[in-house]
């Protein structure tokens, strides 16, 4: 089973990455919504050094920008107090988002941590507050925004993928098999025919097109952050179960990701619910599990991987005992 962490400032040093790899991490994700492959070269050099020290290969997955909506660069973190009215201009929303906003439209920011509702052409009211940081995700429940599957930055990163040792490309917000064919064509044109293509299921379109996506991708990613914004949160576990079942039926590997050990961004131990979540993902047949902010910016990246690995191993032992 593949165990992935996410590269970031919390695990940028070679010695920390070495501990994570030696603990059992098999690969890392690099989020290209914030950097390019070239800009991430210091982190990638540290990863290569760590892999050499540990004496094991490591997979490198790049998570593309794709048709994903994010706020722009803010002058400073923006506090948003519940009940306050905020100018839409202050949120640095993409022009494609501003063009479709109408009164009553919900705005989910930072994987749904922040919730606003549009009041008029210029303002929104904060319903669920917090602090907005630059480049955080934007979701518009019930509203579709048309964007191409690849940005210019994505194309440049794909052209450099082989040079940087990329083994997998994660395409976000996949809407159709045509999205995946466009990404695959760009990968092949850059000499990346042997690089695996991961389809992230993050919206209703992806759910509706899942059978075609399973055929067009090398692995399906159940990306629960934005998928949980696309439906009432209590319906998300059922959606995860249905995706897993369809992947098993077609023999397509799948990954489970998002908030698997979220509490460990600030705590040295996880919650019981989190380890149960990982355990059940293995029982459902996941080929891969991944943590994101837990290792990218959390306080305990090495401990995160140890808990992830040990829980996966416990689930695998349980399955072996059940089948013997």
Q: Are strands 78-80 and 114-118 parallel, antiparallel or unpaired?
A: unpaired
Instruction: For 219-243, write each residue's pLDDT tens digit.
Output: 999 999 999 988 999 999 999 999 9
Catalytically annotated residues = 29, 70, 200, 258
Per-residue confidence band for 129, with pLDDT thresholds at 50, 70 and 90: very high
- Which residue range(s) make up the domain with 131? 78-139
Residues 118 and 197 in one domain: no
Give domain status of residue 104, yes or no.
yes
Give domain status of residue 73, yes or no.
no
Residues 175 and 258 in one domain: yes
Share of the chain above pLDDT 70, in %: 100
Residues 243 and 176 in one domain: yes
Residues 135 and 278 in one domain: no
Give yes or no for residue 116 having a pLDDT over 90: yes
Instruction: For 198-223, write each residue's pLDDT tens digit.
Output: 999 999 999 999 999 999 999 999 99
Is the pTM value of this prediction over 0.95? no
- Give me the number of domains the chain comprises: 2
Q: Which of 117, 139, 161 is the last residue of a domain?
A: 139
Residues 21 and 134 in one domain: no
What pLDDT shows up at residue 143? 86
Residues 108 and 37 in one domain: no
Give yes or no for residue 68 having a pLDDT over 90: no
CATH of the domain at 18: 3.20.20.60
DSSP 28-91: EEEETTT--TTTTHHHHHHHHHHHHHHTS--EEEEE--TT--B----SS-EEE-TT-EEEGGGG
């Amino acid at each position: 089973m593949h165990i992935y962490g996410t590269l970031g400032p919390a695990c940028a040093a070679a010695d920390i990455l070495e501990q994570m790899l030696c603990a059992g991490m098999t690969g890392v994700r690099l989020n290209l919504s914030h950097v390019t492959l070239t800009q991430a070269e210091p982190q990638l050099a540290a990863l290569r050094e760590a892999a050499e020290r540990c004496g094991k290969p490591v997979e490198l997955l790049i998570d593309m920008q794709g048709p994903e909506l994010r706020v722009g660069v803010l002058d400073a973190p923006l506090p948003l107090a519940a009940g306050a009215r905020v100018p839409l201009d202050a949120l640095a929303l993409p022009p494609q988002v501003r063009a479709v906003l109408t009164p009553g439209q919900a705005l989910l920011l930072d994987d749904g941590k922040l919730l606003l509702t549009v009041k008029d052409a210029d303002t929104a009211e904060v319903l669920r507050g917090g602090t907005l940081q630059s480049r955080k995700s934007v979701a518009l429940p019930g509203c579709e925004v048309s964007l191409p599957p690849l940005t210019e930055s994505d194309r440049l990163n794909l052209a450099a993928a082989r040079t940087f040792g990329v083994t997998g490309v994660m395409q976000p917000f996949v809407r159709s098999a045509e999205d995946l064919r466009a990404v695959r064509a760009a990968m092949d044109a850059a000499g990346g025919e042997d690089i695996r293509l991961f389809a992230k299921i993050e919206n209703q379109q992806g759910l509706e097109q899942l059978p075609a996506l399973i055929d067009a991708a090398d692995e399906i990613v159940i990306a629960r952050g934005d998928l949980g914004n696309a439906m009432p949160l209590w319906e998300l576990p059922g959606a995860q179960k249905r995706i897993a079942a369809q992947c098993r039926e077609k023999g397509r590997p799948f990954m489970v990701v998002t908030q698997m050990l979220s509490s460990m961004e600030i705590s040295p131990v996880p919650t019981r619910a989190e380890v149960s979540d990982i355990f059940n993902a293995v029982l459902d047949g996941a080929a891969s599990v991944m943590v994101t902010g837990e290792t990218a910016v959390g306080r305990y990246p090495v401990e995160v991987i140890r808990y992830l690995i040990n829980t996966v191993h416990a689930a695998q032992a349980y399955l072996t005992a059940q089948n013997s």
